[in-house]
Structure 1
């Protein structure tokens, strides 16, 4: 009995000392965001079109011709669409701007003397030609590289199997390729804010540093390393707050931004020209309208100042007496 009374007594003392107050931290379910363009509070659907980037050289050339038509129309008519492109496609467009070849073509552009055995094996699997009988190993692969570019330009008949081609010869031919492709780069950058990069675990950090929103299956625990300020998770992703970023989820309405609700719909597209009919989808929000924002951090509150003030009430004095083996509070 003595122990029970002692426990009650100590609990009562603790209750009095804390002033009958309990503090429960509020778990924020959203961030306060201010969009630079003054985007009104409300509900929005982000309709995006995901381009399917082909694999073969021939299909890629056709794809780029159609992409150029689409981008040219977007610029001419001042239209915006939310377009998701694979990171590889973005790299190829970027490479054009710096007079570099596509990612899949780099093995045919690299100096023949620097080729690895794996790269040589790849070239051997793609190119079957004749070359001077006394050509050394480097010369053989240089000739194969030159043939690749002649063939790309549909001038394979110009390849001379008895010639000892040089790196300069190769560069002259590749320069013609650059000239044919430069239109793509020139048209991409005026509408670059309409694009979203599709990434995976291997390239999410690298791609996220390019300044574009990203479209991904997951963040793979790399939230702190991803510089992209807008992340769109594919269907099945979990809505959550990532400090100083906006996270959206395909197929799910999320309200992680206070006073806003964003939904995402993605449609897969094979032919870029088919998007010409989508120009009238003006009611949908455009990704470029969300790019520039700042997260507002509420001012920290002083709990003492924020508490409700009440008139002082005299406290009863506790008179504790020990009588025999019992404690008693008077």
Structure 2
């Protein structure tokens, strides 16, 4: 009789649930490469402005080089144009107006030819060598002017691409410190998204995350989203949502990450050592998770 009652009780208990299923926890357990411990963390990002004029860019980049050397642990969001210039400098290219001067004159587009003439509209060029020769002279003058050597230009001389290469080589020597500093600081630089950055592994800043993020190589994406705050795991990428409004989202078990963006007009406005480095999140691995018994009602 007791066995019968026990069997009936078990049947009733099971009847109260549709079934019992095995499932993994919805939030994966992970370990970060730099041994970041489980807990609550804040990431502070400083969003910079970049001047438009070439001489102001040159001054900004010199100050930025010194700033990065003295402050290696800050998270910096760079505007799209500055991001392109950083990549170009690392790849031994020019920035800003220089880019037109570094190209072979024969490869200049019509738009670039017009821009080149506007940049150096106050110089004389040889009249007997054709338009390509005129553009080489204009490019040569521009390169000298950007190095404050404009007085070396001879308006009657037919400069060649080899002459340009010599001046470009001087430029690259001068720029070596800047290039090296960008390479050292690259891990915490967040690039404002541009389609040309799809293959970039650095963190990216997007105004809105769309359905095409699977095409982006970066493993960390920072975005403004009024409907979410915290972070999520999408397409094996960590998506950091900025702000305190909207629903709270968390991607990993026992890790809470919040983000804040501070827009900065001057590097002197930056308060040092706030929060953790974004590069701390760059490499992580999943840990084995035990299966859970869950009653499904």
| TM-score, normalised by the number of residues in structure 1 | 0.73
**83-92 or 45-54, which deviates more:** 83-92
Q: Deviations over 1:135-188 (max 9, x none)?
A: 311111111111111211122222211111111111111222212211111122
Judging changes above 3 Å, is the alpha-carbon distance between structure 1 residues 291 and 241 closer, same or farther for their aligned structure 2 residues?
closer
Uncovered stretches (5+) of structure 2, i.e. residues with no partner: 1-14
1:197 aligns with 2:229: no
When the two chains are superposed, the root-mean-square deviation of aligned CA atoms in Å is 2.9
Uncovered stretches (5+) of structure 1, i.e. residues with no partner: 1-17, 309-330
Instruction: Work out which structure has the larger RCO, using CA pairs closer than 8 Å and 6 or more positions apart in sequence.
Output: 2
Judging changes above 3 Å, is the alpha-carbon distance between structure 1 residues 218 and 25 closer, same or farther for their aligned structure 2 residues?
farther
* The structure with more strand, counted as a fraction of residues: 2
Judging changes above 3 Å, is the alpha-carbon distance between structure 1 residues 294 and 280 closer, same or farther for their aligned structure 2 residues?
closer
Larger radius of gyration: 1
The equivalent position to 2:236 in structure 1, one of 244, 252, 256, is 244
SS at match of 1:196: strand
- Looking at structure 1, the residues matched to 227 and 129 of structure 2 have their Cα atoms a distance apart, in angstroms, of 56
- Looking at structure 2, the residues matched to 307 and 241 of structure 1 have their Cα atoms a distance apart, in angstroms, of 24
Q: Deviations over 1:225-284 (max 9, x none)?
A: 112111111243646541422111111364232222211111122333544xx3353xx1
- Looking at structure 2, the residues matched to 114 and 217 of structure 1 have their Cα atoms a distance apart, in angstroms, of 34
Judging changes above 3 Å, is the alpha-carbon distance between structure 1 residues 20 and 259 closer, same or farther for their aligned structure 2 residues?
closer
1:291 counterpart residue number: 282
**206-215 or 285-294, which deviates more:** 206-215
Judging changes above 3 Å, is the alpha-carbon distance between structure 1 residues 250 and 72 closer, same or farther for their aligned structure 2 residues?
same
Judging changes above 3 Å, is the alpha-carbon distance between structure 1 residues 156 and 289 closer, same or farther for their aligned structure 2 residues?
same
1:257 counterpart residue number: 252
Count of aligned pairs: 275
The equivalent position to 1:207 in structure 2, one of 197, 208, 215, is 197
2:29 counterpart residue number: 32
- Looking at structure 2, the residues matched to 172 and 70 of structure 1 have their Cα atoms a distance apart, in angstroms, of 30
SS at match of 1:43: strand
| TM-score, normalised by the number of residues in structure 2 | 0.81
**163-172 or 79-88, which deviates more:** 79-88
